[in-house]
Structure 1
Amino acid sequence: LRSAAPPGLGMEVMAPPIINALNGSSVKLSCTFNSCYKVENKQFSLNWTYQECSNCSEELFLQFRTKIMNKQLDRFGNRVEFTGNPAKYDVSFTLKNVQLEDEGTYNCYVLNPPDRHRGHGKISLKVLTK
């Protein structure tokens, strides 16, 4: 029997485990969270990372530190657009003109102080040719 988490330990991140996208299309990688606390831009932090394979290192490509920062990785160029709204507990982004090489794991890490726990969502992107 699980007891309810004590107050302040309750961050939960929701992300679909697998997303299929058509080669050349745009796809929204959805990541939302809930927290007992209002999002304060000065404290809130978000990292989106990409992993080509399960033991590959994670590449940071999108970050929120007081404002959204797009790292413009060569891999994605200008195809990443932040479409979330942290104040509404949404940190999703859209990947435009999806390429076969975009396949892999996308990790969404959210920290919303005073929550002490960093939330983590994980999406596996599969790219379909038809």
Structure 2
Amino acid sequence: MRRTGRERAPLPRCLQTGDVIHATLVISLLLGVWCAQGLEVSTGKVSFVEAMNGSTVLLPCTYASCIGIKNLYFNWHYNDNGTMNRLCEGMIPSEGIEPRVYVYHERVDFVGSSKINNISILLWNVTYEDEGEYVCFARNPKEKNRNHSAIYRLYVVGELKEVDTTLTTIIVSVVGGVIGLIIVVMVVKALVLNFVLKDQDKNKECLVSSSGNDNTENGLSGAKGDDKATPKA
């Protein structure tokens, strides 16, 4: 049986519907991949700090979740040659609610806040024995207990190294000298142009004045000659 054009008309509609479904699936998959990353904790772009013996140091840690948190559990541990010594732990009921924190080290203070997704701690009166790895850990039951951790390294020194700023000073001096020279040249150029323009204006005034005087003298002499009376016989 021969098919007419009308019978084939619905085909483009089916293709359009299929394209929409395909695009929806792709977007869903992309969103799923993005959310699959789940809970993440981070100690920042720099994962270590150098502190002087006897000083106070901040051990930073933040968390993030694409679907939010509920009863987020977190803790800090110090890696003492393979033995994990717990420093503190706490739980955040939900976003924006401050956690109840338990501290197990006399020189540790919790300074984080759930309002900024921060679970950082302070370590007071640092000693050489405090040097090593500090682990920040978090677990989110809302993401089927997905967990993540980040390591922060502490180095303790007797005195902080002085940064050699000789090269920086030289560069700043050279750049400052070049800028100053450019400014002086521009000022001198402006003054020279000003003097040249004034000199040109004076020359123009002199030429105009001189030309006017010559014309006046010529006119007066001619007028006097015409006014002379004819001598009587």
- TM-score interval for Structure 1 and Structure 2 normalised by the shorter chain: 0.7 to 0.9
Map 1:18-97 onto structure 2 (within 5 A): 18-40=48-70, 43-53=71-81, 56-65=82-91, 67-72=100-105, 78-97=106-125
Map 1:109-120 onto structure 2 (within 5 A): 109-116=137-144, 117-120=146-149
Contact between 1:49 and 1:59, CA under 8 Å: does it hold in 2? Answer: yes
Partner amino acid, structure 1, of 2:87: F
Gaps of 5+ in 1: 73-77
Note if 1:122 corresponds to 2:151: yes
Shift of 1:6: 4.7
Larger deviation, residues 28-37 vs 101-110: 28-37
Contact between 2:69 and 2:142, CA under 8 Å: does it hold in 1? Answer: no
Shift of 1:39: 4.1
Larger Rg: 2
Shift of 1:18: 1.3
Q: Which is strand-richer, 1 or 2? A: 1
Contact between 1:31 and 1:91, CA under 8 Å: does it hold in 2? Answer: yes
Shift of 1:12: 1.6
Any idea what SS the aligned residue of 1:84 has?
coil
Shift of 1:107: 0.4
Gaps of 5+ in 2: 1-29, 93-99, 160-233
Q: Which is helix-richer, 1 or 2? A: 2
**In structure 1, distance between residues paired with 2:72 and 2:63:** 12
**In structure 1, distance between residues paired with 2:150 and 2:40:** 9
Distance 1:9 1:115, change over 3 A: farther
TM-score w.r.t. length of structure 1: 0.81
Count of equivalent residues: 119
Q: Percent identity?
A: 29
